[in-house]
Chains A and B, each alone.
Chain A
Amino acid sequence: MKANTSPKIAVNLGRLKLKNPVMTASGTFGYGEEYAGFVDLNSLGAIVVKGLSLKPRLGNPPPRIMETTGGMLNAVGLQNIGVDVFIEEKLPYLRQYDVAIIANIYGETYDEYKKVARILSAVKGVHALEVNISCPNVKNGGLSFGCDPKIAARVTRAVKDETGLPVIVKLTPNVTDITVIAQAVEKAGADIISLINTLTGMSVDLKTKRPHLNNITGGLSGPAIKPVALRMVWQVVQRVSVPVIGIGGIMTAQDALEFLILGAKAVQIGTANFINPHATMEVVEGIKNYLAVNKIKDINEIIGTFKP
């Protein structure tokens, strides 16, 4: 059933204004071009591009992925073309579209984060930065930046010092208490918080007794992680006042709406793109339809309406 007046679906995440709350998750949508044959990129709230580092990265040796029940493990190892090639070869293509472009960035040192942020802030067509703090900190024994509130805060400040763009900090769920990290990055100046990144997991080959992934461990994504993501988003929205983006296992509009009801201002669609390249557009349409059927005029009326 469709209503006659189409509901308002624009959302504001502070200064970052999106025409709808549906974004792509970094690493699952390439640089946009890979999905342009399937999705009208103009119909999305935002495109978050594959994570960019200062220099190109080779990534991990294969096998890099393994299917699991209701999801998949990946250990791609942040293979990417590097920030300079992105600006030269990929950004001009994305600029033709009327959609917010968000550059996901990461580094192995504070200095690398700063440099990537600085370079991307000097070019036209990037609307926000999303900082991946889940990657290993080489100067700190390879421990993830995102596991320690002090270090997570320092990365956030390092990026904030270099950019005037809105800064989204993407949190890892592989911590004891995600709210501590969320509060630390908020205090350090994060404009928006997105969560969750993948959950660390493993898979064993019974025949060979070896891991299915060359890297041994990998990041679990897909619908299997949605309940964990919902729980963490719920915990975080109660503790921070900056806008929150919900990520984790969203396959359908119903899934996305659960995150919005909890208080997320927007969502990111990740692994769903792999098995259904139309997933993002279907979620946008499904949200519109839900609002129309329930006679809700504006999406903002349902954000944060959770009744615990």
Chain B
Amino acid sequence: MAGNIYIGEILKNEEIQEDCFLMKVKLPSSFENPLPGQFVMMRIAGLNDPFLSRPISIYSFTRGKNYCSMELLYSVVGKGTQILAGLINGSQVEINGPLGNGFETKSVKKNIIFIAGGIGIAPLSLLTESLCRRVSSSSTMNIYLGFQGASAAVGLDKLKKLCRNVTVCTDDGSLGEKGFVTQIFEKDMKKFAADDTSIYACGPKAMLRSLSKILNKNKFDCQVSLEERMACGTGACMGCAVAVKNKKGAFAYQRVCADGPVFNLKDIIWK
């Protein structure tokens, strides 16, 4: 655990697509290097309204000489993110993190597949960067990105630079193929052998749920990053529960913040 609350300074906070913001925060050097899939709890320094901090996953991270900088990609979904979106350069934020368990990449297989829905691209983007630096040239990477429409598409340029096989789709067909990202992936699925493939996914619950249906018929290994409302982010409040099969195979509620946010898709119990 990091054990510290860091004061970050906003270097950039721009609306890059409708209701989608890219925030760049300057942090002291003592901030630990985040693992892909980890998140931070963020609040406006000195402000008690909104009351709770907001969990936001880390989109990119750079370590400079005397400080580091972190980028966060977030959608405006409610009061908290709306207020964050209004912050100007130079504003101070309180940051607790990096928090949670990142994606497990030690046993990454030959074929690497990323499946992201909407803002779910954020943690997968950091993971792509990290894996690009590490994996051997015999590995292949395939990225599937789904958005509601062209006006919601974010983060494409960065991923296209990192990976040749990027498939984009939108619900309305306004960009790339028409359809849900899970359907587009399903069409390609037979190209990959389950034993040789690691899948990493992040997106809305409905997307992950349909992905679990598709993958359950096969033996694919798939890690997903989940989202839930949180109060503490450190495992104490038990607010961010998700229903899973635990190690003994029994039904349990685990904490997205401290037991996750990355889970094996096959462990998640859908209602």
Q: List A residues at the B interface (Cβ < 8 Å).
A: 27-30, 34-38, 50, 58-72, 74, 76, 79, 222-223, 251, 271, 273-278
Contact = CB atoms under 8 A, between A and B. Distances in A.
B206 interface: no
A67 B239 contact: no
Given A37-B3, A38-B3, A30 B236 contact: yes
Given A34-B235, A38-B3, A70 B53 contact: no
B2 interface: yes
Contact of B238 (A38, A68, A79, A273): A79
A274 B231 contact: yes
A275 B54 CA distance: 10
A59 B236 contact: no
Report the 7 A-B pairs with minimum CB-CB distance, sorted nearest first.
A37-B3, A65-B239, A37-B1, A274-B232, A30-B236, A274-B231, A34-B236
Nearest to B94: A276
B70 to A, nearest CB: 19
B96 interface: yes
B252 interface: yes
| Binding site secondary structure of chain A | loop
A50 B253 CA distance: 16
B228 interface: yes
Given A37-B1, A65-B230, A69-B51, 20 more contacts: A27-B237, A30-B235, A34-B234, A34-B235, A34-B236, A50-B238, A63-B229, A65-B229, A67-B51, A67-B80, A68-B51, A70-B49, A72-B51, A74-B237, A79-B241, A223-B51, A275-B52, A277-B5, A277-B234, A278-B5
Contacts of A61: 241, 243, 253, 271
Given A63-B229, A64-B241, A275-B43, A35 B234 contact: yes
Interface string B240-271: 11110000000111000010000000000001
B146 to A, nearest CB: 23
A278 B241 CA distance: 24
Contacts of B228: 62-63
16 contacts: A28-B237, A34-B235, A34-B236, A37-B2, A38-B4, A58-B251, A61-B271, A63-B228, A65-B230, A67-B51, A70-B51, A76-B241, A79-B238, A79-B253, A274-B236, A278-B5
A93 B237 CA distance: 20
A64 B1 contact: no
B240 A62 contact: yes
A2 B79 CA distance: 40
B90 interface: no
Given A37-B3, A275-B52, A275-B53, A74 B234 contact: no
Contacts of B43: 275
Contacts of A63: 228-229
B66 interface: no
Given A34-B236, A72-B52, A79-B253, A62 B96 contact: no
A276 B237 CA distance: 13
Contact of B5 (A68, A72, A273, A276): A276
A274 B241 contact: no
Contacts of B50: 67
Contacts of B239: 64-65, 74, 76
Interface residues of B, number: 35
A62 B236 contact: no
A304 to B, nearest CB: 29
A158 to B, nearest CB: 27
B48 interface: yes
Interface string B21-65: 000000000000000000000010000111111000000000000
A198 to B, nearest CB: 13
Nearest to A66: B229
B32 to A, nearest CB: 12
Nearest to B52: A67
B5 A71 contact: no
Contacts of A38: 1, 3-5, 234
A222 B232 CA distance: 13
Nearest to A29: B236
Contacts of B4: 38
A62 B237 contact: no
A276 to B, nearest CB: 7
Contact of A223 (B48, B53, B79, B253): B48
A69 B48 CA distance: 9
A71 B237 CA distance: 14
Contact of B236 (A35, A60, A64, A71): A35
A71 B51 CA distance: 6
Contacts of B49: 69-70
Nearest to B256: A62
A221 to B, nearest CB: 10
A59 B238 contact: yes
B3 A274 contact: no
B60 to A, nearest CB: 25
B242 A62 contact: yes
A237 to B, nearest CB: 28
Interface string B88-100: 0000000010000
